[in-house]
Amino acid sequence: MKTIDELLSEGVAGKRVFVRADLNVPLDGTTITDDGRIRAVVPTVKALADAGARVVVASHLGRPKGAPDPAFSLAPAAARLGEILGTDVRFATDTVGESARATVAALADGQVAVVENLRFNAGETSKDDAERGAFADQLAALADLYVGDGFGAVHRKHASVYDLPARLPHAAGYLIAKEVAVLKKLTDDLQRPYVVALGGAKVSDKLAVIDQLLGKADRILIGGGMAYTFLKAKGYEVGASLLQEDQIAAVQEYVERAEKTGVELVVPVDALTATEFPDLKTKAAAHPTTVAADAIPADQMGLDIGPETRKLYASKLADAATVFWNGPMGVFEHPDYAEGTKAVAQALVESKGFTVVGGGDSAAAVRTLGFDETAFGHISTGGGASLEYLEGKTLPGLAALED
């Protein structure tokens, strides 16, 4: 995989460089609530601009249905990128149309532009190779070189991620190079004990990675909504908690495999429960009840791991040489159910091992809860991409960057 440093050494002054970034940031209206992904691509964009390239940044945001939708405009992300770079960033109001062509044509050496949301064009996400290829051809007309730096999208076989690199000389940006180096530490160069903390809502989203980790991890800690399917698989009643009935058999099989292979699979011993889901807008007091994990009342739902589980998980993380954490332990967006996620994050901060926060909601939680990002070994920008890499899958966007 060619690196951006190699590209820079060959000279990029005066050349149009298409940077596939991941600017898929959370928005409250037009206000960005977490700019982590924008900040992550700045080193690549700045290096290219400083070297005299004419930088064309592109990304998706949200899931528009293949047509323009103002709710998913990249305009706020373009403005924020300009603020971080400390320079004017031009914005094209379409992706490959008249505005994009004119905006790119007007760039001088060292200037930066952002084109509108790639997913406003149906060709970006099409499963039809010809339709995707046609859109990639239009994107290729905007540039001379391609730099892939949108790690959060490399597990997608999309036009700008998979097809476009085949049409232009290409290289990996600093972010992708860093993300891949970290993931190799979790697979090829593993230091033990290796402890994995998995949370989030659906156990079905994590089954494939658990399958792989049962042969690699020393301990797996289970939290979030997915924990209640594990508790049900152990024969506990989980009340009104989130439950995937169709996954119970698979979970039981993994529990048995963990016992046979000596992997310590740890589930909550208590939980914070309530009769209804908390109001995440007003953050009104929820008054949760703490109950044992095997005694959740029929009318109650588990919404966070309890205080004993927090202590247990902190102890299981204390001696880890390597930690991978993906998925919150509870409804961290509400202060009454944030303590479980906070406890795991704090345990990583205190760890002397190499700690990786696996993107997605985990990364958002770290920032929302006020942790210093530099206290972690690495905070990934791509939760889904990280998980698929650990599952052993070939990621289209990385494969496309290989020479």
The token pair at 178 is 């860093």
The token pair at 264 is 């310590």
Q: Burial of 9 by CB count in 10 Å (0-12 exposed, 13-18 middle, 19+ buried)?
A: exposed
Q: Does residue 257 carry a catalytic annotation? A: no
Torsion angle (degrees, nearest 10) of CA 154, 157, 163, 164: -40
- Percent helix, strand and coil across the chain, each to the nearest 5: 40, 15, 40
| Neighbouring C-alpha atoms within 13 Å toward the C-beta of 399 | 12
Q: Which residue has the tokens 């964009």?
A: 45
Pair type for strands 31-32 and 27-28? antiparallel
Which residues have C-beta within 8 Å of that of residue 215, sequence separation ≥ 6?
Answer: 261
Q: Which of 340, 360, 383, 397 is catalytic?
A: 360
Q: Which amino acid is at 51?
A: A
Helices (H), 203-338: 207-213, 227-233, 248-261, 307-317
Q: Which of 2, 46, 80, 202 is catalytic?
A: 202
Task: Quote the DSSP letter at residue 394.
Answer: P
Q: Does residue 178 carry a catalytic annotation? A: no
Which residues have C-beta within 8 Å of that of residue 118, sequence separation ≥ 6?
Answer: 58, 59, 60, 95, 124, 158, 159, 160
Q: Does residue 2 carry a catalytic annotation? A: no
Binding site membership: which residues? 22-24, 37, 60-63, 119, 156, 206, 302, 333, 359-362
Q: Which amino acid is at 201?
A: A
Q: Which amino acid is at 264?
A: E
Q: Which of 354, 352, 350 is nearest to 196 (CA)?
A: 354
Measured distance CA(149)–CA(185) in Å, rounded: 20
Measured distance CA(87)–CA(79) in Å, rounded: 10
Contacts for 208-216: CB closer than 8 Å, 24+ residues apart: 208/387, 208/391, 209/326, 209/387, 209/390, 209/391, 210/254, 211/254, 211/391, 212/390, 212/391, 212/392, 213/263, 213/390, 214/254, 214/257, 214/258, 214/261, 214/263, 215/261, 216/187, 216/190
Q: Does residue 342 carry a catalytic annotation? A: no
Measured distance CA(100)–CA(237) in Å, rounded: 57
Known catalytic residues? 37, 202, 360, 384
